[in-house]
Amino acid sequence: MVGGGPPMSNADRVTDTKKPSVLSRTVLGFLASTLSASVGRNGYYIASAWILVEAGYGSASVGTVLTIVSVVEFIASPLAGVAADRFDRRRLNIAADLSRFVVLLVTACAFFYLDAFVTICLSAALFAFCDRVALTTSQSMIPVVVRGAGLATSNSIVFFAVQFGCLGAALLAGPLLNELSPALVFTVLAAFFVASAASLGWVRLDRASDRVYAANSFVPNTDLVRHFAVYALLYGGAVLVSVMGSGFVFEEQQGTAVDFGHLEAAWSAGSLIGAGLLARLTRTISTHTLHLMLLGSTALALMALTPLSAPWTLAIFAALGLFYNLGRVSVEVTLQSRVSDRVLGRAKGAMHSLAVGLGLIIFGIAAVLGDRVFPSTIFFGFGVALLAGVYVLSINFAKQKGE
């Protein structure tokens, strides 16, 4: 940390409530880029899922596409992490934004010549690689962009912008999908990545923060591995919602694209609340206890979807969004406070690779079951698995504490 006084401890960096300057050109540009990219990114995945389901390919097709995305991310995450530690993160992020813009324009054109399923599969593979580079570099810049402010507060602000973008994408997706052709939908979404790149071009980081580091090794300790596991389980729940959410609305709830947009909006609204709660909770509850509570609550919420119907399901998805984002921000803050900036990109790459590995297992199960099992049944099964994960993590923590 940069300042006139003594350096902050990890605990101070996490719980300090000092906010990044609202007048900072760097912070404003970074938040604008984050917001724009979030709208484009989430709009892309929402539109892709709904187009496939509406075309009659079912939830299995969404699982197939997201499996492709996960395989690409599994390979790209470590590479993106190394790149984020070796090259200028801001420029790398701008290049990734412009690459996502090109991918969406090519996708829009491909709808006129190729089948929707083939088009989205090819598009998703290219988009996922560019997206992973963008996300890794962007999130690795957070400690530098908000340098001098508390990590919990700063990350909450950044992730609030992310989730506000998710909410905007959810609210925008329904009307776009109802009124426009798939090609025009993707063309509109592509513009958000140009806006993101332009905003990030406005950002100026100090030379010391932008230096290129030599390749240092990164070996996570037991404590970080446990946090990686928490992130993976939370990520798995989010993946399950992404894979089965459209099928849940279309098949079980007999809903429309607008209803699907409402579900995504409920998730995003809950996530917005979750992003704002961390700074207060870190002062009243330990990180480990918070993570176990969030995993257990996620499990119970998923299991509750089986007997419920709309509009109660919207409240459940809002709660799921809250639990996921609160846990995600907490893990991010922990990682940033305990890992050197020199290897932060690689640490994030390793953490995401583990999470994607779990996601691939979920995709495989969804692909095997196809449309033979109701999405709510799969939600219930994953809820049970989460409870088992909470039990294992509790034992591991107690054993480590005893040693």
**What does the pLDDT read at residue 39?**
93
Residue in this structure with the two tokens 């692909």, named with its chain if needed? 367
Element (H, E) at 165: helix 151-179
Q: Mapping DSSP to helix (H, G, I), strand (E, B) and coil, where does residue 375 land?
A: helix
| Domain-wise residue ranges, the chain | 23-205+219-402
Residue 262 to residue 173: CA distance in whole angstroms: 10
**What does the pLDDT read at residue 131?**
94
**What does the pLDDT read at residue 332?**
84
Q: Shortest CA distance to 289 belongs to which of 398, 171, 152?
A: 398
- Confidence grade of residue 228 (pLDDT, cut at 50, 70, 90): confident
Percent of the chain predicted with pLDDT > 90 = 18
pLDDT at 25 over 70: yes
Q: Of 40-54, 135-149, 180-194, which gets the smallest average pLDDT?
A: 135-149
Averaged pLDDT, 93-98: 94
**What does the pLDDT read at residue 62?**
77
Tokens of 165: 């973008």
**What does the pLDDT read at residue 398?**
67
Averaged pLDDT, 288-302: 89
> Over the stretch 32-55, which tens digit does the pLDDT of each residue have?
999 999 999 999 988 898 888 887
Residue in this structure with the two tokens 């599994």, named with its chain if needed? 74
Residue in this structure with the two tokens 């990109």, named with its chain if needed? 345
Averaged pLDDT, 8-32: 60
For the residues of 5-65, what is the DSSP string, one character each?
A: SPPPPHHHHHH--PPPPTT-HHHHHHHHHHHHHHHHHHHHHHHHHHHHHHTT-HHHHHHHH
| Topology (CATH) of 23-205+219-402 | Growth Hormone; Chain: A; (1.20.1250)
Q: What is the DSSP letter of 180?
A: S
**What does the pLDDT read at residue 178?**
80
Residue 109 to residue 232: CA distance in whole angstroms: 35
Q: Shortest CA distance to 86 belongs to which of 94, 96, 78?
A: 78
Rg of the chain over CA atoms, in angstroms?
20
**Alpha-carbon torsion 314, 318, 324, 325, what sign?**
positive
Averaged pLDDT, 11-27: 55
Tokens of 185: 């939908």
**One-letter amino acid of 200:** L
- Based on the number of CB atoms within 10 Å of its own CB, is 388 exposed (0-12), middle (13-18) or buried (19 or more)? exposed
Residue 188 in contact with residue 180, Cβ under 8 Å?
A: yes
**What does the pLDDT read at residue 20?**
52
Q: What is the DSSP letter of 214?
A: P
**What does the pLDDT read at residue 214?**
46
Averaged pLDDT, 266-295: 79
For the residues of 56-100, what is the DSSP string, one character each?
A: T-HHHHHHHHHHHHHHHHHHHHHHHHHHHHHS-HHHHHHHHHHHH
pLDDT at 108 over 80: yes
